[in-house]
């Protein structure tokens, strides 16, 4: 009898949620001061945190020097900074050098161009992050045909140019331009092809069009030579645009490439392709990025016929793409592996062809599974682009180092590195925030 | 008792409506490594015929029906579906898969697509049907399996029984001539088995050619024209359900039936 009586009350007690404390005091007591050990730890940590925070605020703001006087020759007088060294930060170095750090040796009066480029890149990232913008445009057969034809024309045209160059150099003549008429016709086809391709892709898939046009605008702004902009050779590019170019093109091209490699590596019907993909991944993964960059900058030109000069940035870009693709391919393969076999079988049973099955069923699910490691790799490669300093390209980090080589400012590396760190953190944190948002969004609709 | 009396006239009706053979297996052999999973399987299934394949686990029944749409490939013998032989030729394989629908034990719905998208995907991409027409078709089949109101939901939001009914609707949207069922109720809770079986019975009554691997003997009795009993990779015995269940000829079938009945 007693058990039957006590039963309802005990089940009631079990089913009721534990008392939820909303008051801060109760939370603190429960979590930070619940025993003498935890109280001691809390107090000790609090002391350390407050002390270091105060010290940092003191150094970074209260005792900081924000500007220094300049001599008549324009040389900075950094005695004030030297006097407070150790007690206060010398942010004057940033005020003095920020344009050098951000834009490198780009002609000073033309630096509005790389500045716009940086904003274009950021705008591109923001637009791409809004999934609403990825909607379909108008994709009718004639427009697709026009886009493909234009792309083909441009490619064939470029190939012809390259062929003429190679033949000219192999024949032994000094490197010369092809005949003027041919060159003019080829140039005309090339330009028209590009414009038509851009317009057509924008109609078919607006977001892809936005990318193509923005990247073209970035190219024009950086190198100039058209629309009355003075030409700036790649050797003068530097700072943040170099970092953004290497990272954006690197990831944007390496990612689709990595998907193909991952699919190739899992292919059962094409053993040769599979072998090639395995070989590629293992080879590239087995060597440091620095050595791939060295290969690209030193060895690659040796294999090219004389007279053909692929510029340094492009070579570094290709190296970054090849390297990133190998790593991303393994991440993608992880996602493919994790997908239940039933999904492929169901797609097969419905009669979907290989690319339909892959594009509609397998990849959408596999890529969702690997968003965290994918973004992890993206972030890693964003920072790894700083290794191009080894082959003499002036990315953001390299420009920071160069700024520090100016004699009056040599002692103030901390300030420069903190600034660089903040720039890197902004980009990387944005990526990580976006990926978390994406995961949440996809999970909320899918509810698996 | 009434089962037999009800079956007798049905059998004759079915015999009249039965047409040409649409699935022919001729001395099919298959090995997984050194394991001989299909031994000289010969079976001919006619148009509008309903065949139930049963047998203990590991007897090769799933492998056999997976060979019919070549989710598994056989190593010896011939399989003809609708007169086309199954080979490595991709084009003939595509034609066959278009005509053969399959329902799996674990549903295998696409979790990233809504119920409606699951159903319209293949008609749009394989049959090249316009989206609006495909959606109309899908809704009509979802209504037939009695879940049109779930069309906008994702598979993860549905119960197992509902998911399996969607899987049946998805296969039917391709307007297949043959439907294969690979243990469609084995992964379901008992209370959901009935709703799926009811859907299958309705389908059987509409004259679809069906091959079902199942342990549901009640279903076999009610709709099957023929029951095929497999054990250790070979067809041991086959015949109309009442003969198979009431007077099994072989010892192995007797043993199997006694185990099934004891289990129930």
Instruction: Place A22 in a pLDDT band, splitting at 50, 70 and 90.
Output: low
Half-sphere exposure of A12 (CA within 13 A, CB side): 5
**Does the CB of A351 have a partner CB in chain B at under 8 Å?**
yes
Answer whether residue A326 is part of any domain: yes
Contacts of A361 in chain B (CB under 8 A): 110
Answer whether residue A297 is part of any domain: yes
pLDDT, position A20: 57
Contacts of B156 in chain A (CB under 8 A): 446-448
Of A193-207, A247-261, A263-277, A351-365, least confident by mean pLDDT is: A193-207
pLDDT, position A81: 74
Q: What digits encode the pLDDT tens for the residues A30-88? A: 888 888 888 899 899 999 999 999 988 888 887 777 877 777 777 777 777 777 777 77
Please indicate whether, in this complex, the C-beta atoms of B174 and A448 are within 8 angstroms of each other.
no
What percent of chain A lies above the pLDDT cut of 90?
16
Residue of A340, A347, A349, A357 to mutate, interface with B, max B Cβ within 10 Å: A349
Q: What is the interface pTM, i.e. ipTM, of the complex?
A: 0.86
CB atoms inside a 10 Å sphere around CB A433: 12
Residue tagged 């150094």 (tokens): A59
pLDDT, position A80: 74
In sign, the C-alpha dihedral spanning A284, A288, A293, A298 is negative
Contact indicator for B126, B204 with CB cutoff of 8 Å: no
Q: Which residues pair with B54 in a beta bridge?
A: B229
pLDDT, position A306: 65
Contact indicator for B55, B61 with CB cutoff of 8 Å: yes
Q: Which residues of B83-96 are buried (b: 16+ CB within 10 A; e: fewer)?
A: eeebeeeeeebeeb
Answer whether residue A186 is part of any domain: no
Answer whether residue A285 is part of any domain: yes
Instruction: Place A394 in a pLDDT band, splitting at 50, 70 and 90.
Output: confident
| B212 has a pLDDT exceeding 90 | yes
Burial class (CB in 10 A: 0-12, 13-18, 19+), A424: middle
Total domain count for chain A?
A: 1
Helices A180-204 and A141-171 meet at what angle, rounded to 10?
A: 150
| A305 has a pLDDT exceeding 70 | no
pLDDT, position A86: 75
Contact indicator for A244, A381 with CB cutoff of 8 Å: no
Contact indicator for A351, B97 with CB cutoff of 8 Å: yes
Mean pLDDT of chain B: 86
Closest CA to B115 of B86, B90, B143, B89: B143
Residue tagged 């603190």 (tokens): A28
Closest Cβ opposite residue A345 in set B101, B108, B171? B108
Q: What digits encode the pLDDT tens for the residues A334-392? A: 999 999 999 999 999 998 988 899 999 999 889 888 888 898 989 988 888 888 888 88
Q: Which residues pair with B85 in a beta bridge?
A: B80
Please indicate whether, in this complex, the C-beta atoms of A446 and B111 are within 8 angstroms of each other.
yes
Specify the pTM.
0.79
Closest CA to B166 of B120, B225, B215, B227: B120
- Rounded mean pLDDT, B74-79: 89
Closest CA to B64 of B247, B197, B236: B236
In angstroms, the Cα distances linking A283 to A277, A326, A416 are 10, 9, 37
CB atoms inside a 10 Å sphere around CB A423: 16
Instruction: Place A399 in a pLDDT band, splitting at 50, 70 and 90.
Output: confident
B259 vs A204, residue with greater confidence: B259
Q: What digits encode the pLDDT tens for the residues A149-183? A: 888 888 888 888 778 777 777 766 555 555 667 77
pLDDT, position A260: 94
A64 vs B189, residue with greater confidence: B189
Closest Cβ opposite residue A351 in set B71, B104, B122? B122
Angle formed at CA A30 by CA A26 and CA A33, multiple of 5 degrees:
105
Distance between B78 CA and the closest CA of chain A, angstroms: 20
Contacts of B106 in chain A (CB under 8 A): 340, 342
Closest Cβ opposite residue A351 in set B109, B111, B126? B126
**A294: domain range?**
243-331+369-393
Of A219-228, B31-40, B207-216, least confident by mean pLDDT is: A219-228
| A28 has a pLDDT exceeding 70 | yes
DSSP A77: -
Answer whether residue A257 is part of any domain: yes
The terminus-to-terminus CA distance of chain B in angstroms comes to 19
| A12 has a pLDDT exceeding 60 | no
Contact indicator for B65, B103 with CB cutoff of 8 Å: no
Pairing, β B76-81 against β B21-32: antiparallel
Mean pLDDT of chain A: 82
Please indicate whether, in this complex, the C-beta atoms of B174 and A368 are within 8 angstroms of each other.
no
Q: What digits encode the pLDDT tens for the residues A96-115? A: 788 888 888 888 888 888 88
pLDDT, position A174: 54
Please indicate whether, in this complex, the C-beta atoms of B71 and A342 are within 8 angstroms of each other.
no
CA pair distance A229, A223, nearest whole angstrom = 8
Contacts of A448 in chain B (CB under 8 A): 111, 156
Closest CA to A121 of A236, A215, A201: A215
Distance between B203 CA and the closest CA of chain A, angstroms: 18
pLDDT, position A307: 64
pLDDT, position A222: 84
| A129 has a pLDDT exceeding 70 | yes
| B18 has a pLDDT exceeding 60 | no
Residue B192: left (phi > 0), alpha (psi -120 to 50), or beta?
Answer: alpha
The terminus-to-terminus CA distance of chain A in angstroms comes to 46
A4 vs A360, residue with greater confidence: A360
Closest Cβ opposite residue B156 in set A353, A356, A446? A446
Distance between B48 CA and the closest CA of chain A, angstroms: 20
CA pair distance B97, B234, nearest whole angstrom = 25
Answer whether residue A247 is part of any domain: yes
* Radius of gyration of the CA atoms of chain A, in A: 29
DSSP A58: I
Contacts of A350 in chain B (CB under 8 A): 97, 121-122, 126, 170-171, 174
Query: What is the CATH number for A271?
Result: 1.10.3720.10
- Rounded mean pLDDT, A197-207: 78
| B82 has a pLDDT exceeding 50 | yes
Closest CA to A258 of A289, A219, A293, A285: A285
| A448 has a pLDDT exceeding 80 | no
| A288 has a pLDDT exceeding 70 | yes
**What beta strand segments (E) does chain B contain?**
21-32, 35-46, 50-54, 76-81, 84-85, 100-103, 178-182, 209-213, 226-231, 234-239
| B93 has a pLDDT exceeding 80 | yes
Instruction: Place A333 in a pLDDT band, splitting at 50, 70 and 90.
Output: very high
pLDDT, position A387: 86
pLDDT, position B10: 43
Coil, helix or strand for A232? coil
Residue of B65, B108, B166 to mutate, interface with A, max A Cβ within 10 Å: B108
pLDDT, position B58: 85
Contacts of A340 in chain B (CB under 8 A): 106, 108
CA pair distance A225, A399, nearest whole angstrom = 25
Answer whether residue A49 is part of any domain: no
If you average pLDDT over each of A141-145, B74-78, B83-87, which comes out highest? Answer: B74-78
Contact indicator for B63, B36 with CB cutoff of 8 Å: no
pLDDT, position B264: 52
């Amino acid at each position: 009898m007693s058990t039957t009586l006590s039963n309802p009350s005990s089940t009631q007690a079990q089913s009721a949620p534990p008392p939820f404390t909303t008051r801060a005091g109760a939370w603190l007591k429960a979590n930070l001061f619940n025993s003498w050990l935890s109280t001691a730890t809390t107090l000790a940590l609090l002391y350390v945190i407050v002390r270091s925070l105060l010290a940092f605020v003191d150094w970074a703001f209260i005792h900081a020097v924000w500007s220094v006087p300049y001599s008549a020759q324009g040389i900075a007088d950094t005695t004030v900074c030297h006097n407070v060294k150790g007690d206060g930060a010398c942010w004057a170095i940033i005020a003095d050098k920020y344009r050098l750090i951000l834009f490198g040796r780009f002609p000073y009066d033309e630096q509005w161009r790389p500045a716009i480029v940086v904003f274009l890149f950021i705008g591109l990232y923001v637009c791409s992050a809004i999934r609403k913008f990825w909607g379909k445009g108008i994709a009718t057969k004639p427009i697709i045909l026009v886009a493909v034809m234009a792309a083909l024309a441009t490619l064939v045209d470029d190939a012809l140019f390259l062929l003429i160059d190679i033949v000219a150099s192999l024949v032994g003549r000094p490197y010369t331009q092809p005949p003027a008429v041919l060159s003019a016709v080829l140039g005309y086809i090339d330009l028209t092809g590009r414009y038509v391709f851009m317009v057509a892709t924008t109609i078919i898939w607006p977001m892809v069009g936005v990318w193509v046009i923005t990247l073209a605008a970035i190219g024009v702004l950086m190198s100039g030579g058209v629309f009355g902009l003075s030409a700036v050779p790649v050797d003068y590019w530097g700072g943040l645009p170099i970092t953004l170019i290497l990272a954006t093109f690197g990831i944007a091209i390496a990612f689709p490439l990595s998907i193909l490699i991952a699919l190739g590596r899992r292919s059962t019907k094409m053993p040769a392709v599979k072998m090639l993909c395995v070989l590629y991944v293992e080879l590239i993964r087995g060597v440091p990025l620095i050595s791939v960059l060295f290969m690209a900058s030193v060895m690659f030109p040796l294999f090219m016929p004389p007279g053909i000069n692929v510029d340094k940035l492009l070579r570094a870009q290709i190296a970054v793409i090849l390297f990133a693709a190998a790593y991303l391919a393994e991440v993608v393969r992880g996602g493919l592996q994790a997908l239940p076999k039933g999904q492929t079988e169901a797609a097969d049973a419905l009669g979907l062809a290989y690319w339909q099955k892959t594009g509609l069923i397998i990849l959408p699910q596999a890529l969702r599974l690997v968003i965290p490691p994918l973004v992890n790799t993206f972030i890693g490669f964003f920072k790894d682009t700083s290794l191009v300093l080894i082959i003499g390209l002036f990315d953001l980090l390299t420009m920071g180092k160069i700024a520090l080589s100016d004699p009056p400012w040599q002692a103030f590396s901390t300030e420069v590195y903190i600034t660089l760190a903040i720039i890197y953190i902004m980009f990387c944190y944005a990526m990580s925030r976006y990926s978390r948002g994406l995961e949440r969004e996809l999970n909320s609709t899918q509810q698996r | 008792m009434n089962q037999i009396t009800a079956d007798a006239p049905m059998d004759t009706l079915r015999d009249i409506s039965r047409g040409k053979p649409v699935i022919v297996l001729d001395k099919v052999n298959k090995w997984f490594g050194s394991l001989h999973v299909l031994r000289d399987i010969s079976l001919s299934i006619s148009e509008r015929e309903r065949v139930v394949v049963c047998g203990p686990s590991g007897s090769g029944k799933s492998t056999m029906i997976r060979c019919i749409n070549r989710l598994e490939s056989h190593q010896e013998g011939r399989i003809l579906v609708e007169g086309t032989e199954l080979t490595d030729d991709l084009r003939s394989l595509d034609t066959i898969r278009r005509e053969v629908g399959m329902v799996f034990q674990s549903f295998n719905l696409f979790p990233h697509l809504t119920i409606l998208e699951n159903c319209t995907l293949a008609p749009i991409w394989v049959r090249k049907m316009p989206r609006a027409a495909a959606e109309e078709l899908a809704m009509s089949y979802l209504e037939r399996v009695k879940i049109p109101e779930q069309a906008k939901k994702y598979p993860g939001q549905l119960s197992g029984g509902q998911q399996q009914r969607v899987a049946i609707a998805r296969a039917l949207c391709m307007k297949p001539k043959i439907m294969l069922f690979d243990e469609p109720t084995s992964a379901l809770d008992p209370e959901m088995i009935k709703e799926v079986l009811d859907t299958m019975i309705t389908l059987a009554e509409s004259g679809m050619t069906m091959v079902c691997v199942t342990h549901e003997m009640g279903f076999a009795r009610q709709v099957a024209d023929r029951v095929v009993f497999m054990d250790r990779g070979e067809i041991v015995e086959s015949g109309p359900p009442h003969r198979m269940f009431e007077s099994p000829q072989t010892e192995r079938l007797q043993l199997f039936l006694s185990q099934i009945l004891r289990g129930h």
